[in-house]
C-alpha cells in the first residue's frame, strides 16, 4: 500500500485492516494445528445431548423412538440431528473436532473409523461405561473390529453385512426354484439370463456401486483387500487388485453389464438400487442386512414375495462377510457430568431391550448375546426366516484377517478410486488388467501420501 502521509484517516483505516488481518491469520494458523488442549472442547447444546446420525427413513423413525424412550426413562434430554449420510456425519464430526464445538455422540461408519481415531480427539467408550456393564456380552465378531488393544474405542450400534435379496415371485414366473437361490457368481449369471430371457424382469441383479460390495466379494473369497492384515496390523501400503479374486469378480461384472443382466443404479446409490428391486426392474439385490424390514414392507406394497440368501461367492468357497454399519464415537475432554449422561445413553442403546427393538424395526444385528438369546427363545427367528438368514451369515463366518473390514486412513479417497475405476471396468472402458493396475497404483499413491 502507498506511503502517502496526507491521508490521515485513510491510512489509519488501512493499517487497522492490516492489523486485523494479521490477527486473524495468527488465529487461523493457531486453529490449523491439531487440537491438543483440553478445556477447548465445548458441547453444542447446554441442555441436551447432541447426537449426529445418518439413519434416514424408517430406520430413523425407529431410532427416534429409542431416543424418546431413553429420555423418558432417564430424564436426560437428547437431540437427534440427521446428517444425511455417513459421509455427512464424518465431515461434520471432523470439522467439529477441529473447531472444538462438538456433538456428544457421532455415528461413524466403520469405513471411516481409522480417520476419526487418528485425530486423537475421541475417548474410548469403555471409559464411559459403568463398571457393572457386561462388556463380554457383546458379539466378538462385531466388537473385535471396534477395539484397539482390547479396549473398546467406539460403541457398536447398528451393524450389518451385505446380503442378497431376491424376488421369489419373479423366480417362480421364470421357472426358477425360489427355494434354491444362486450361491455363486456363475449361478447368479445363469439365473439372470433366465429371468431376462423369459421377460420377467429387465435385469437380473443390481447393487449400489459402493466399495463395501467389492470388500464383500473379497472377504467371502477369503482375500484381504489391502495389506498389513487389512490395515489392522499396521499401515497399509497397497491394494490387492492384482489377484485372482479381483480378476474373476470384474470379468463377471463386466460380462453381466455388457449383456444387460446388471442394472447400474449409480455410485453409492443405495436408494436407487432398492427402488430398482422393489419396482421389479431387477430380481436380485445386493444390499445391507439392515434393509430386511424395508424389503418386507416394500415387497408387500409392490405385490411380490421377497426372500434373502447368503452373499454370492466367487467360486463356491465361502469365508465370510465383512462387518459394516456404524458405531458411536464420543469426543474426548467433555465435562464429567456430560460423560456420565453419555455413558447412560450408550448403555441404554446397548441394552438387550433396545437392541431387540432396533433389530426388529430395522434388520441390524443385535450385538448383545442376551438379546439374541431372548429373540431365540421367543421363536423370532423361526417366524422371520429372513432375519435368521442374516444372522446365520454372520455366525457361520470364519474369523480371519479377510473378514475384518479394512482399516485405512484415506478412506474416502480409496473408496472413490475403487468406485470410479469399477465403472470403467464394468462398462468395458478399459482392459481388465489395465484397470486393476491403475486402481492399485492410485491407491498406493494415496496411502503413501497419507502415511508419510
151-180 residues in contact with another protein (CB under 8 A) are none
In contact, 283 and 201? CB cutoff 8 Å: yes
Told to check if 120 binds another protein by CB under 8 A, we report yes
Of positions 187, 248, 251, 424, contacts another protein by CB under 8 A: 424
Taking CB under 8 A as the binding criterion, the range among 75-83, 161-169, 236-244, 353-361 that sits at the site for another protein is: 75-83
Q: Is 45 in the site for another protein (CB under 8 A)?
A: no
User: What x/- string results for residues 86 through 105 when contact with another protein is judged by CB under 8 A?
Assistant: -xx--xx-xx-xxx-x----
What's the half-sphere exposure (Cβ side, CA atoms, 13 Å) at 366?
25
Q: Which of 110, 317, 291 shows the shortest CA–CA distance to 217?
A: 317
Residues 274-333 that bind another protein (CB under 8 A): 274-276, 278-279, 281, 298
Question: DSSP 3-state assignment of 284?
Answer: strand
CA distances (Å), origin 195, targets 48, 102, 288, 321: 53, 51, 23, 27
- Nearest-10 Cα torsion for 414, 418, 420, 426: 180
Binding residue (CB under 8 A) for another protein from 15, 19, 27, 134: 27
By CB under 8 A, which span of 157-165, 262-270, 335-343, 395-403 interacts with another protein? 262-270
72 contacts another protein (rule: CB under 8 A): no
Find the part of the chain contacting another protein (CB under 8 A) among 56-64, 65-73, 136-144, 354-362.
56-64
Contacting residue, 48, 76, 186, 269, with another protein by CB under 8 A: 269
Cell numbers representing residue 8 in the block: 490521515
**Do the Cβ atoms of 315 and 303 come closer than 8 Å?**
no
Told to check if 198 binds another protein by CB under 8 A, we report no
Residue 19 touching another protein (CB under 8 A) = no
423 binds another protein (CB under 8 A): yes
Q: Does 121 bind another protein (CB under 8 A)?
A: yes
- Is the torsion defined by CA of 88, 90, 95, 96 positive or negative? positive
Q: Which residues of 372-398 are buried (b: 16+ CB within 10 A; e: fewer)?
A: bebbeeeebbeebebbbbbbebbeebe
120 or 335, CB closer to another protein?
A: 120
Region near another protein per CB under 8 A, out of 3-11, 214-222, 234-242, 367-375 = 3-11
Amino acid at each position: 500500500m502507498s506511503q502517502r502521509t496526507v491521508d490521515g484517516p485513510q491510512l489509519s483505516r488501512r493499517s487497522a485492516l492490516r492489523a486485523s488481518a494479521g490477527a486473524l491469520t495468527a488465529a487461523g494458523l493457531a486453529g490449523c494445528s491439531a487440537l491438543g488442549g483440553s478445556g477447548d472442547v465445548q458441547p453444542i447444546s447446554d441442555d441436551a445431548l447432541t447426537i449426529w446420525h445418518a439413519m434416514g427413513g424408517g430406520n430413523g423413525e425407529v431410532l427416534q423412538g429409542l431416543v424418546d424412550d431413553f429420555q423418558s426413562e432417564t430424564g436426560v434430554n437428547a437431540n437427534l440431528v440427521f446428517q444425511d449420510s455417513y459421509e455427512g456425519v464424518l465431515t461434520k464430526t471432523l470439522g467439529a473436532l477441529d473447531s472444538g464445538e462438538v456433538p456428544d455422540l457421532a455415528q461413524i461408519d466403520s469405513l471411516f473409523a481409522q480417520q476419526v481415531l487418528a485425530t486423537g480427539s475421541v475417548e474410548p467408550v469403555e471409559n464411559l461405561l459403568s463398571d457393572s456393564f457386561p462388556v463380554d456380552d457383546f458379539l466378538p465378531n462385531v466388537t473385535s473390529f471396534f477395539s484397539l488393544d482390547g479396549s473398546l474405542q467406539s460403541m457398536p450400534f447398528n451393524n450389518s453385512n451385505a446380503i442378497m435379496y431376491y424376488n421369489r415371485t419373479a423366480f417362480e414366473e421364470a421357472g426358477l426354484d425360489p427355494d434354491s437361490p444362486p450361491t455363486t457368481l456363475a449361478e447368479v449369471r445363469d439365473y439372470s439370463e433366465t429371468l431376462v430371457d423369459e421377460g420377467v424382469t429387465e435385469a437380473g441383479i443390481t447393487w449400489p456401486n459402493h466399495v463395501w460390495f467389492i470388500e464383500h466379494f473379497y472377504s467371502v473369497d477369503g482375500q484381504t483387500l489391502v495389506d498389513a492384515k487389512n490395515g489392522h496390523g499396521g499401515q497399509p501400503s497397497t491394494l490387492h487388485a492384482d489377484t485372482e479374486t479381483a480378476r474373476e469378480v470384474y470379468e463377471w461384472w463386466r460380462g453381466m453389464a455388457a449383456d444387460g443382466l446388471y442394472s447400474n443404479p449409480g455410485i453409492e446409490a443405495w436408494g436407487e438400487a432398492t427402488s430398482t428391486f422393489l419396482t421389479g426392474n431387477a430380481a436380485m439385490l445386493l444390499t445391507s442386512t439392515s434393509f430386511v424390514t424395508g424389503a418386507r414392507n416394500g415387497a408387500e406394497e409392490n405385490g411380490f414375495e421377497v426372500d434373502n440368501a447368503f452373499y454370492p461367492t466367487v467360486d463356491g468357497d465361502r469365508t465370510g462377510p465383512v462387518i459394516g454399519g456404524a458405531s458411536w464415537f464420543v469426543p474426548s475432554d467433555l465435562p464429567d457430568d456430560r460423560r456420565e449422561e453419555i455413558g447412560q445413553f450408550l448403555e441404554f442403546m446397548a441394552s438387550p431391550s433396545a437392541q431387540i427393538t432396533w433389530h426388529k424395526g430395522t434388520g441390524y444385528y443385535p450385538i448383545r448375546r442376551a438379546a439374541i438369546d431372548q429373540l431365540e427363545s421367543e421363536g423370532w427367528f423361526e417366524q422371520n426366516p429372513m432375519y435368521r438368514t442374516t444372522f446365520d451369515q454372520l455366525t457361520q463366518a470364519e474369523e480371519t484377517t479377510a473378514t475384518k473390514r479394512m482399516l485405512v486412513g484415506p478412506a474416502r479417497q480409496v473408496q472413490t478410486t475403487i468406485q470410479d475405476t469399477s465403472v470403467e471396468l464394468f462398462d468395458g472402458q478399459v482392459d481388465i488388467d489395465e484397470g486393476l493396475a491403475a486402481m492399485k497404483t492410485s491407491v498406493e499413491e494415496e496411502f503413501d501420501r497419507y502415511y508419510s
